[in-house]
C-alpha cells in the first residue's frame, strides 16, 4: 500500500513566500516615509523658530526697533540712535550667535556619531579648552590679539584633537579599530585630563597679562557675544561655508558605523578614516567658533540630544546645527535682557543649562563608563 504525504504543506508555503515580500517592503517604505516626514517637520520647525528668535533678538529688548525702521536701516537709511544699536550691537550679536551655535551644534553631532557616546562633545574632550589655551597663549606669549588669537585657537584645538586621537588609538579597545577605540572611556578620560591641563595653562598665562589684556581674556574665556563685530562674523561665516558641507559629507559617510565596525567593514565602509576626518572637522568647527566668541560652554552637548529627540532618534547634522543656533541666540537674548541694566556673558547661561544635562547623561551612561 502506497501512502502519500499530505498536500497541505506545499500550498501553504507558496502564499507565505509571495505575500511576505511585498508586505515587508510596504512596511519599510511606510517607516522610511514617516521618518522623512518627521525629519522634514523637525528641520522646518527649527528653521522657523530660529528666524523668530533672530527677529526677537534684533527687534525687542530694552531698546525696541519697529519692523519698518529695521527695514529702512537695512536699506541704508540712518536713524539717529537706532541705526547704531541695530548695526553695531543687536544684529551682529544675533548673526554671530546663530553662526557660533551652528558650528558648535555640528561639531557635537560629529563627535557624538564618531565616538558613539552621549558625553562626547568639544567641551569634555578638551577641544574647547585647547582652543582657549591656544588663544590666550597667542596673546600672552606673542602679543597677538585679534587674528593672532583666532589662529592660536585653531592651532590649540587641532593639537588637542590630535592628542585625544592618539590616546584613543593607544587605548585597550584599539585592536577593534579606531572607531571602537574612540567609543571607549579612554577618550573621555583623556579629554577631561587635557581640558584640566588647558585650564591650568590659561590660569598661569593670565598672571603675566596687563590690565587691558586681562580684561580681554576674561571676557573672551567666559564666552561672550559682546565681542561680535562684522569682521569676526565674516571670518566665521567663511569658515562655515567650507566646514559645514565637509561636516555633512563626513557625518553621512559615518552612517554605516552605526551598525557596528564589523558590519560597516563588510559593507565596504572605512569607519577609521571617516572617524579621523570627523574628529578633525569637528575640532575645526569648535575651534573656529571659539576663536570668534570664546568657549560657549556645553552648546554642543545640549544640541545633539535635543536634535535627536526632535528627529525621533535619527542622527542629523543639520538638526544639531539648527538646535545649536537656537540655543545660542536664545541664551544671548536672555543674557542681555534677563537682568535690566546687566549684560551677562552668554557662556554663563549655556553652561548653567548644560551642567544638569551633563550630569543626567552621566547617570544614564554610568553602566558603560
Domain spans, the chain: 45-365
The whole-angstrom separation of Cα 316 and Cα 313 is 9
The whole-angstrom separation of Cα 110 and Cα 163 is 18
Nine-digit cell string for 15: 502564499
Residue 10 reports pLDDT greater than 80? no
Please name the residues in contact with 135: beta carbons below 8 A apart, sequence gap of 6 or more.
Answer: 149, 150, 152, 153, 156, 220, 290, 291
- Describe the crossing of helices 127-142 and 185-206 by its angle, rounded to 10 degrees: 20
Q: Phi and psi dihedrals of 229, rounded to 5?
A: -130, 160
* Helices assigned H by DSSP within the chain: 9-59, 67-74, 82-85, 91-115, 127-142, 147-169, 178-182, 185-206, 211-222, 230-253, 261-266, 271-293, 299-310, 317-337, 346-365
**Mean pLDDT, residues 199-211 taken together:** 88
CA-based Rg of the chain, rounded to a whole angstrom? Answer: 25
**Mean pLDDT, residues 272-285 taken together:** 84
* Model pLDDT, residue 339: 77
Nine-digit cell string for 149: 588669537
For the domain bounded by 45-365, which CATH number is listed?
Answer: 1.10.3470.10
Indicate the pTM of the whole model.
0.86
The whole-angstrom separation of Cα 214 and Cα 95 is 27
Nine-digit cell string for 161: 584633537
The whole-angstrom separation of Cα 292 and Cα 189 is 27
CA atoms within 13 A on the CB side of 282: 36
The whole-angstrom separation of Cα 154 and Cα 149 is 9
Residue 212 reports pLDDT greater than 80? yes
Residue recorded with cell 576663536:
291
Residue 153 reports pLDDT greater than 90? no
How sure is the predictor about 366, in pLDDT bands with cuts at 50, 70 and 90?
A: low
Closest CA to 317 of 248, 254, 257: 248
CA angle 102, 106, 108 (to 5 degrees): 120
- Per DSSP, the residues of 183-206 read TSHHHHHHHHHHHHHHHHHHHHHH
* Model pLDDT, residue 181: 42
Contact 369, 362 (CB under 8 A): yes
Q: Report which of residues 105 and 2 the model is more confident about.
A: 105
Closest CA to 284 of 97, 111, 146: 111
Q: Give the least confident one: 12-21, 165-174, 283-292, 360-369.
A: 12-21
Residue 89 reports pLDDT greater than 60? yes
Closest CA to 112 of 123, 101, 102: 123
The whole-angstrom separation of Cα 142 and Cα 23 is 68
Amino acid at each position: 500500500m502506497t501512502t502519500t504525504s499530505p498536500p497541505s504543506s506545499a500550498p501553504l508555503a507558496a502564499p507565505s513566500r509571495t505575500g511576505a515580500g511585498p508586505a515587508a517592503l510596504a512596511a519599510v517604505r511606510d517607516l522610511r516615509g514617516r521618518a522623512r516626514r518627521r525629519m522634514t517637520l523637525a528641520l522646518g520647525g527649527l528653521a522657523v523658530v530660529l528666524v523668530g528668535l533672530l527677529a526677537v533678538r534684533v527687534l525687542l529688548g530694552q531698546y525696541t526697533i519697529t519692523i519698518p525702521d529695521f527695514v529702512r536701516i537695512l536699506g541704508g537709511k540712518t536713524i539717529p540712535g537706532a541705526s547704531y544699536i541695530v548695526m553695531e550691537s543687536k544684529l551682529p550679536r544675533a548673526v554671530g550667535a546663530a553662526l557660533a551655535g551652528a558650528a558648535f551644534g555640528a561639531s557635537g553631532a560629529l563627535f557624538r556619531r564618531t565616538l558613539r557616546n552621549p558625553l562626547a562633545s568639544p567641551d569634555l574632550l578638551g577641544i574647547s579648552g585647547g582652543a582657549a589655551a591656544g588663544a590666550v597663549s597667542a596673546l600672552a606669549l606673542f602679543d597677538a590679539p585679534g587674528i593672532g588669537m583666532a589662529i592660536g585657537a585653531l592651532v590649540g584645538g587641532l593639537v588637542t584633537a590630535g592628542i585625544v586621537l592618539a590616546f584613543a588609538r593607544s587605548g585597550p579597545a584599539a585592536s577593534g579599530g579606531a572607531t571602537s577605540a574612540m567609543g571607549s572611556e579612554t577618550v573621555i578620560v583623556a579629554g577631561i585630563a587635557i581640558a584640566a591641563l588647558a585650564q591650568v595653562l590659561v590660569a598661569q598665562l593670565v598672571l603675566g597679562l596687563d590690565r587691558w589684556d586681562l580684561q580681554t581674556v576674561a571676557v573672551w574665556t567666559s564666552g561672550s557675544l559682546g565681542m561680535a563685530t562684522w569682521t569676526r562674523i565674516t571670518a566665521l561665516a567663511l569658515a562655515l561655508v567650507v566646514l559645514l558641507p565637509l561636516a555633512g559629507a563626513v557625518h553621512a559617510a559615518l552612517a554605516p558605523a552605526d551598525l557596528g565596525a564589523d558590519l560597516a567593514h563588510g559593507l565596504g565602509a572605512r569607519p577609521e578614516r571617516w572617524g579621523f576626518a570627523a574628529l578633525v572637522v569637528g575640532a575645526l568647527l569648535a575651534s573656529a567658533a571659539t576663536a570668534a566668541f570664546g568657549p560657549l560652554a556645553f552648546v554642543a552637548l545640549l544640541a545633539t540630544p535635543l536634535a535627536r529627540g526632535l528627529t525621533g532618534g535619527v542622527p542629523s547634522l543639520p538638526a544639531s546645527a539648527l538646535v545649536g543656533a537656537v540655543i545660542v541666540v536664545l541664551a544671548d537674548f536672555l543674557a542681555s535682557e534677563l537682568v535690566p541694566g546687566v549684560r551677562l556673558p552668554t557662556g554663563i547661561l549655556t553652561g548653567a543649562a548644560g551642567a544638569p544635562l551633563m550630569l543626567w547623561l552621566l547617570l544614564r551612561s554610568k553602566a558603560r563608563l
